[in-house]
Amino acid sequence: MRNNFRAASSLVLAVAGMGFCLGAQAGSGTSLLSPGYQTQLETWLGEGPLALTNIYSKATGDTSLDFHKAADGKGRTFSIMEATNASGQTWLVGGYNPQSWSSTDGMHVTMDDSERTAFLFNLTAGFVLPQLKQYFNGDGVGKDQTYNHANYGPTFGYGHDLYVPQDLTHGGSSFLYTYNYLGQPSSGVSLLDGSVWHGNDVTFGAIQVFAISAVPEPGTYGMLMAGLLLIVARRRGRVAARSV
Q: Is beta strand 106-109 parallel, antiparallel or unpaired with respect to 144-148? A: antiparallel
- What is the full per-residue pLDDT of the chain (244 aa) written as tens digits? 333 323 222 222 222 232 222 232 333 445 799 999 999 999 999 999 999 999 999 999 999 999 999 999 999 999 999 999 999 999 999 999 999 999 999 999 999 999 999 999 999 999 999 999 887 656 788 999 999 999 999 999 999 999 999 999 999 999 999 998 765 555 689 999 999 988 999 999 999 999 999 887 555 444 555 556 656 556 665 655 556 5
pLDDT at 163: 98
First to last CA, the chain: 14
Sheet with strand 77-84: strands edge to edge: 50-57, 203-214, 77-84, 90-97, 119-122, 127-130
> CA distances (Å), 158 to each of 7, 25, 90, 104, in order?
57, 33, 23, 17
CA dist., res. 79 & res. 56, Å (int): 9
DSSP H/E element including 36:
helix 35-45
Helix, strand and coil content of the chain, in percent to the nearest 5, comes to: 30, 25, 45
Which candidate, 212, 199, 190, 204, places its Cα nearest to that of 63? 204
Which candidate, 142, 137, 136, places its Cα nearest to that of 118? 142
pLDDT at 186: 58
Cis bond upstream, residue 149 (ω within 30): no
* CA 211 to chain CA centroid, nearest Å: 5
CA dist., res. 122 & res. 18, Å (int): 34
pLDDT at 180: 87
Q: Which residues pair with 214 in a beta bridge?
A: 50
User: Directed axis angle between helix 2-25 and helix 218-243, to 10°?
Assistant: 170
DSSP H/E element including 56:
strand 50-57
